[in-house]
Amino acid sequence: MDVLTENFSLYGKGFLGTVELTVLASLLALVLGFLMASFRVAPVGSFRVFGTVWVTVLRNTPLTLLFFAVLLGLPRFGLVLPFKVFAVLALGCYTSAFICEALRSGINTVPRGQGEAARSLGMTFGQTLTSVVLPQAFRSVIPPVGSTLIALAKNSAIAGAFSVTELLGTYKTLNELGYSIIWTFVWIAVGYLVITLSISALFNWLEKRFGVAR
């Protein structure tokens, strides 16, 4: 317990940093994922191509490489932002590809006749998607979206290698101070467990409240 009690502020700062990264990147991933899913099922061919390229590139790019590209590449083009913002961009964009595919699979579970009926009533593509298709698809995509955001929380550990304050990065300071590396990582693991179990609890509640009855 000494590792935790004597360095509670350091652990707390890292824990809050990971929570902040997770929340902000999750919001960005959900927005971009919804947008890309809309593009992938849009009637406009150029939108479908853009959505497909976005998903294909990001899903097949290692997250560490994406961090290097964003944190070290963008400043070379004159875009200078705090490293935390770059980390949110990297995590959010990467995760959005997986959110997109989860949403698209949910959209595909909605009978085609639902969309055709909406269009026959004069509804636009946007109205059909947001008012008819997505409310039904949402119920079936809660579990995969929850799993994806849990993975995002764990992936945020990569940000510590780029001078972003987060939970895993606390081990460097504690190791330099001579604390047991084993117990240092035990308490780091507990912190990640708290975050992931919180996300899991939230999505379990959403699934019970809105999910498809089996």
pLDDT, residue 79, reads: 83
pLDDT, residue 1, reads: 61
pLDDT, residue 49, reads: 94
Rounded distance between C-alpha atoms, residue 193 and residue 144, angstroms: 19
Residues of the chain under the 50 pLDDT cut: 214
pLDDT, residue 89, reads: 92
pLDDT digit string (tens) for 130-173? 777 777 778 788 889 999 999 999 998 888 777 777 777 776 76
Residue 200, exposed/middle/buried by CB under 10 A (0-12, 13-18, 19+)? middle
User: Tokens 């019970």 belong to which residue?
Assistant: 208
pLDDT, residue 211, reads: 59
CB within 8 A of 36, min separation 6: which ones? 51, 54, 55, 96, 97, 100
| End-to-end Cα, the chain, rounded Å | 44
pLDDT, residue 149, reads: 94
